[in-house]
Structure 1
């Protein structure tokens, strides 16, 4: 305590940054996770002081300046030793509680596709997840996101893009078009150095998405030209006078434009058609942990330890990551990737031992008899999600448990949202999927080995999956398995039975809903 009292405020601020970096280090979490943060400061100060001064001494030799970072000098000497915070820590410091994998899949899905749908029960923070990300990207710059609350009376695109009123001779509701125009003009002017622009559609299924968003859905899949603009454009109006006033007749969508929609599923909302689900990554925010709620921000408060500086470093890392460039698999400009590069990435996945591509082939073959199989676009997007996740993971922007978890989250987002219907239609495919998601020791298995999986009866499949006789308290058996996987997720451990536990957990919840009500869906 006497030694601590001798430290000036400057010393405390400088060395606290380094302490926080140690506290975040994955390699040290087993040692420090049980320690009080204040005690950790005192204990680690004496343990690291010599090593810190030694490292700064090397830096001093390169810069030719005095090393005084621990003695009231500038904090710049320590900055090279401080890693930017992760997105998980950014949200935690803001008092928002999300699972690590929810944040990771949200970011990578947005980076990959540019169109993400956040679903889940009301009050879990879906809107905040999108808003705080948009604010982080903006930093202190001008606003680069627009927030739109969808209304039940949105029955055509004019409620979104506006319209010409011949009585007043003016264009009504220009905010959204002006936002698109800014994003387009900045990309045309700056290219890859343009800023990301984010559209947030809150409660987007209060109206039929296919009605007011149909033009965007078609244009997003029209392809990209050599400049990475969409091949087709949004038709806005056909009046020369309005164009002279700054309202364009049409606009191509640039690759630096990102769309996030939040949805709740209840009696006042509409479900999504396959057309919408096929063009987006759908993420379910499901878990609510009241034990952790209220304990947020202790480790990563933005007001302490240079939080603003760390958030700014995270912002710079994310913007650079979103812009893309060349990595070991693909060349990317924001969300723009050529088909040639996608095929190269798929070929790389095919070459991997215990190939994920082979698993997709098995999965597709098993689901085909039930008309639940998927197309080439889904394979492309799962591949791109995997490649982009590996890149962001290496940059320490987000974290994943393993490569299996990346692939697991991708198939959950891109394949399961299409599952909706009654017990007669979905019980067998869900049981087949649960069997395929298990860990396997056979490395030489072939796709043909699973061709006849759909010919098995429900009773036989159920016994294979759960090791219990069919009809003996179905709900309790499924619930026990759900709780087992939830415990492994809470501990941050792999599951002994399921290789792809996120998808397996969702399948089990859907299966339980089938047994309880006779109907289920992803939402």
Structure 2
């Protein structure tokens, strides 16, 4: 179609502004006075919206479709430079002043720029002329395609690559606590009575990492999911990680399922990999999983967004070790990494243990509970799943499950006000726990900060209404209190008293109301659990675990 025909066909409204023209010229290629669609099908509104979210990250000034700025001799990417500026100014600044400072010249079309940032950037919000960084901006920026890789950029919009996206800031279904807990720490315990679907949730989370319709999505067991049934006779890591055998007369490492799965995760680091330890507490966890419990605490975040750990299998300058790495992977780069650094835990590996509490299982030591996120799954809706299949999770991107932050310091600067709210709440809770073995320390503080910050994007209610930030923070505080504070409290009436539980109840209730506001109170799971624990104490002993 010629350029003139194209304009007549689309109508004047299609070309209202230079901004829209810039967008449309990304969707269509003009060559020798002809417009060629970059799509192989009609463009839907959703596809155009998704395109704009990618496009704005590559928007630069000056460009062919906007008024040039006199002070610029080279293209400057607007969003990237604006983020850098806001990072240097406590995450907020007057937008016009910021752009003038960046480009050394007043920028026109401020209303268009404001609209573009608010609707498509996902990382910057402009209100009353002031630009502010969203708390999770680093995660979104890491998802952006390479602006120099044109093929990869436009492949996002091919028919066969259409994705059923999950919309994080409107996700209000039951999967949010699992997703944000995993992002805060990739070690999760799912506790509950038998038959509540604990292992199924892990499998479905793994499935949600693939595009709907692909072979992996339709597979009974996606390749990024591994179920390992824990055996009651496990008292070391030989069955799970492996061991050195000399039966043949020479040393040979026999790799366990966990180690093999680690290697698979290294081969596909862009996809989250889920290891499900079914009935995890049939054997003493701190014995058969000792290496992992140690290594998970060695995680370190880096400026490029990667997280590294100490090796779970130390490198050895011996034949058995080189044979092991060769058997684990055919990828030369990964094998070289294993040989030089040992076998470490990849950032995309998530470990989930399902837990049943009865007379056949072991209780968890504080060492295990301190290192894991815990979610209880005892609620059963007998009417659920009869009229329709299980609620779909949607498409999960890597950044929604895999966090770059490990310690509180990684999120504090960009979320200072929220973090101070969390610390005030924690101080009050810790004052009640003073003098007990349940007092919390730095590890738990870090996990509180990470969990609350990771929940900030989830600010849409069930009817798509905007939830007040106070409510979002209080909801997350309530959940993490149950996961990390109450899960550690157990003992007879010499360790756990009515007075302690009453004081905790009062402090948590007041703290949550202060954060959420009286008119936006949270339906508290931690207060319900405290009531249950107090009722148990009548027998002389209480525990978080049912």
Q: Structure 2 residue aligned with 1:179, among 247, 250, 261?
A: 261
Rounded Cα–Cα distance in structure 1 between residues aligned with 2:319 and 2:406: 35
Distance in 1 (alpha carbons) for counterparts of 2:377 and 2:28 = 52
Indicate conservation of the 8 Å contact 1:423/1:514, yes or no: yes
- Report deviation, 1:270: 0.4
- Please tell me whether residue 518 in structure 1 is matched to residue 540 in structure 2: yes
Aligned alpha-carbon RMSD (Å): 4.1
Task: Give the whole-Å Cα distance in 2 for the aligned partners of 1:384 and 1:78.
Answer: 35
Aligned to 1:160: 240
How far off is 1:126 after superposition? Answer: 0.7
Secondary structure, counterpart of 1:382 in structure 2: helix
Are residue 77 (structure 1) and residue 44 (structure 2) matched?
Answer: yes
Q: How far has the Cα of 1:286 moved from its partner?
A: 1.6
Report what 1:232 is aligned to.
310
SS in 1 for 2:262: helix
Greater fraction of residues in helix: 1
TM-score normalised to structure 1 length: 0.62
Secondary structure of the residue aligned to 2:485 is: helix
How far did residue 203 of structure 1 move?
0.6
Question: How many Å separate the matches in 1 of 2:346 and 2:511?
Answer: 43
Structure 1 residue aligned with 2:476, among 381, 406, 429? 406
Q: Of the candidates 501, 504, 508, which is equivalent to residue 524 of structure 2?
A: 501
Q: Do the aligned partners of residues 89 and 224 (structure 1) sit closer, same or farther apart at CA in structure 2, a change above 3 Å counting? A: closer
Match of 2:383 in 1: 291
TM-score of the two chains, using structure 2 as the length reference: 0.59
Report the CA distance shift for 1:434/1:257 in structure 2 as closer, same or farther (over 3 A).
Answer: same
Give the structure, 1 or 2, with the largest relative contact order (CA under 8 Å, sep 6 or more).
Answer: 1
* Shift in alpha-carbon separation, 1:258–1:442, aligned structure 2, 3 A: closer
Q: How has the CA–CA distance of structure 1 residues 419 and 365 changed in structure 2, closer, same or farther, with 3 Å as cutoff?
A: same
Describe the SS at the equivalent of 1:133: helix
How far does the alpha carbon of each residue in 1:82-126 deviate from its partner, in whole angstroms, 9 at most, with x for none?
984569999xxxxxxxxx675211110001101100001111111
Cα distance change, pair 498–429 in 1 and its aligned pair in 2 (3 A): farther
CA distance in 1, matches of 2:42, 2:292: 48
Deviation at 1:497, TM superposition (A): 11
Q: Distance in 1 between matches of 2:405 and 2:475?
A: 25
Decide whether the 8 Å contact of 2:188 with 2:374 is kept in 1.
Answer: yes
CA gap of 1:241–1:436, structure 2 versus 1, over 3 A, is closer
Unaligned runs of 5+ in 2: 1-12, 30-39, 51-163, 217-221, 328-337
Q: CA deviation at 1:202?
A: 0.7
What is the distance in 2 between the residues matched to 1:147 and 1:379?
31
Unaligned runs of 5+ in 1: 1-54, 66-72, 91-99, 188-193, 303-310, 324-333, 446-492
Between the aligned partners of 1:369 and 1:361, the Cα distance in structure 2 is 14
User: Cα deviations across residues 160-180 of structure 1 (Å, max 9, x unaligned)?
Assistant: 011232113543344432221
Count of residues paired in the alignment: 373
Shift of residue 146, structure 1, vs aligned partner: 1.5
Change over 3 Å in CA distance of 1:253–1:405 after alignment to 2? same
Q: Residue 209 of structure 1 is aligned with which of 285, 295, 300? A: 285
1:5-47 CA-partner distances (Å, limit 9, x unpaired): xxxxxxxxxxxxxxxxxxxxxxxxxxxxxxxxxxxxxxxxxxx
Match of 2:276 in 1: 200
Distance 1:105 1:519 in 2: 29
Match of residue 272 from structure 1:
364
Aligned residue among 386, 410, 434 for 1:368: 434
